[in-house]
Amino acid sequence: MADAYRRKGVGATLVEALADDFGCQIADVSWSTPISEAGRRLAHRISPEGIWIS
């Protein structure tokens, strides 16, 4: 996510749209490496029960 759009909900909205498109819950979304620190924070914020990293 570009710095100008961070902390505005854009990333979370994109992940929610991706999960909706695939017909799954956000907790079922897998995050691929490499994942930035900002990406890891986003993942944990929108899926506090834990995240999948592949």
Q: What is the pLDDT of residue 43?
A: 92
pLDDT confidence band for 7 (50 / 70 / 90): confident
Q: What is the pLDDT of residue 20?
A: 96
Residue 34: asked if its preceding bond is cis (omega within 30°), the reply is yes
Average pLDDT over residues 34-48: 90
Instruction: Judge whether residue 28 has pLDDT over 80.
Output: yes
Query: What percent helix, strand, coil does the chain show, rounded to 5?
Result: 55, 5, 40
Average pLDDT over residues 28-47: 90
Instruction: Judge whether residue 52 has pLDDT over 90.
Output: no
